[in-house]
A and B are shown apart, each in its own frame.
Chain A
Amino acid sequence: MMSDRTIAVLSGKGGTGKTFISVNLACAAAPATYIDCDAEEPNGHLFFQPAIKTREAVNVPVPRVDPAKCIECRQCVDFCAYHALAWTGRELLVFDEMCHGCGGCAMLCPAQALKETERAIGRVQTGEAQGVQVLSGFLNPGEATGVPVIKQLLNTGHPGGRVIIDCPPGSSCMVSESIQDADYCVLVAEPTRFGAHNLAMVHELARLYNKPCGVVLNKALPGDDPSRQYCQAHGLPILAEIAFEAQLGKLTSNGMIAVKEDPRYRALFERLLERIDQEACHAAVGHS
């Protein structure tokens, strides 16, 4: 069903307007679900100010040593690929934030002196704001990987219907995790040489996962637009072009949602939703 589609919003770098676009899309589509996968720097909830319903820790395994059993052989220290273990001559130290939770050390300890326990690396929070279910992932600063937060976030129950996923910037493993279940990817690009370069990178990622995609040109200005040129050269549909406007910049920098403040933007985002649905339909038919 058209309205059940999951749309992921991505960009090659930070600051292009991913959150601006995802938040406004979710608002325009309400009732809808907004999922903030930018767990290192989640911002969506600052716009929605949702009434919080649930908070759940995201836990990962971490080893703990029983000093009475430890035979000081150091096999665990030598095995750990992340250097999360160190032997001081007197005790075994565990560096929780370096640990990837692979379970290898506990597995190979000849004295069974290492047991795994759990620790929280972040949390998943759900809430609601005027018809939008807001799901946000928060990764604690300094942690090895945000992938477990995203996994838990995407497994968190929500009412279904239209889902908008606000992805982390770039093309790292966290981004790959965020787009796994997306039906369609919206790539946000700035009209600069940098923007085009970063668009190319994130386009490559979307293609790697066989996701149909289209582009929104954000902060557009008159004149040459290398990002538009990239789209034309690669047959990428341009779903919308949002002109740079100081007023819009100010509104957004103060944490306000354009679709709520200005009927022009409500109309723009409603048109964008329609356009995404059209493109996603064509893509679905094409990929059979």
Chain B
Amino acid sequence: MKIAIPVVSDVKDTAVSDTFGRAAMFMVYDTEADASIYIQNKASLSSGGAGIQAAQTVVDSEVSVLLTPQLGGNAARVLKAAGIRLYKAQPGLNARENLERFTQGKLEALEQIHEGFHRH
């Protein structure tokens, strides 16, 4: 399966981005191939609808799981409708460490969705 995480850069031990909609890019890790690719998040430059646009990018990357520290209402709606499972990434750990925690079953499902950016 494929797992997405919003990240700060495409280096090996990159930190997790503290925002989803305006993350610089998404790391998509393929568990079968044990390899990652990095996708630019065009929403980081968008003047509006960043959560939706970022969610569309994640949906298009065909992942089944998203690990993220926070998520807005609009993005959550897209991801849930697409059947993507949502887990809360731990902010103190980098992307690789969060992936490990996830595969060990140590990450919690993401419960708290924050108020969307509504207009922008």
Q: What residues make up the interface of A, taking CB atoms closer than 8 Å to B?
A: 77, 82-84, 86-91, 93, 95, 97-98, 141-145
Q: B48 contacts which of A77, A83, A93 (Cβ < 8 Å)?
A: A83
29 pairs, A vs B, C-beta closer than 8 Å: A82-B48, A82-B49, A83-B43, A83-B49, A83-B50, A83-B56, A84-B49, A84-B52, A86-B52, A86-B59, A86-B78, A88-B83, A89-B59, A89-B82, A90-B81, A91-B81, A93-B77, A93-B78, A95-B52, A97-B118, A98-B48, A98-B49, A98-B118, A98-B119, A141-B118, A142-B116, A142-B118, A143-B118, A144-B118
Q: Taking beta carbons and an 8 Å cutoff, which residues of B are in contact with A?
A: 43, 46, 48-50, 52-53, 55-56, 59, 74, 77-78, 81-83, 116, 118-119
Q: Are A95 and B74 in contact, with the CB atoms below 8 A? A: yes
Nearest A residue (CB) for B78: A86
- Shortest A94–chain B CB gap in Å is 11
Residues of A within 8 A of B81 (CB): 88, 90-91, 93
Provide the bound-state CA to CA distance between A95 and B21, in Å. Answer: 15
Q: Which of A87, A90, A97 contacts B56 (CB 8 A)?
A: A87
A88 to B81, CA, bound (A): 6
Assess the A86–B56 pair: CB atoms within 8 A: yes
Question: Cα distance A213–B78 when bound, in Å?
Answer: 48
In the complex, chain B residues whose CB is within 8 Å of the CB of A86: 52, 55-56, 59, 78
Smallest CB–CB gap between B24 and chain A, Å?
18
Partner of B78, one of A82, A88, A142, A145: A88
Q: Is the CB of A77 within 8 A of B56?
A: yes
Q: Kindly state the separation between the CA atoms of A141 and B119 in the bound complex, as whole angstroms.
A: 10
Q: Which 10 A-B pairs have the closest CB atoms?
A: A83-B49, A142-B118, A88-B82, A83-B52, A88-B81, A83-B53, A86-B78, A144-B119, A86-B56, A98-B49
Give the docked Cα–Cα distance between A119 and B4 (Å). 35
With A and B bound together, what is the CA distance between A90 and B84 in angstroms? 12
Q: How far is the CA of A141 from the CA of B118 in the complex (A)?
A: 9
CA distance A143 to B118 in the complex (A): 7
Chain B residue contacts of A88, Cβ below 8 A: 59, 78, 81-83
Write out the residue numbers on chain B whose beta carbons fall within 8 Å of the beta carbon of A77: 56
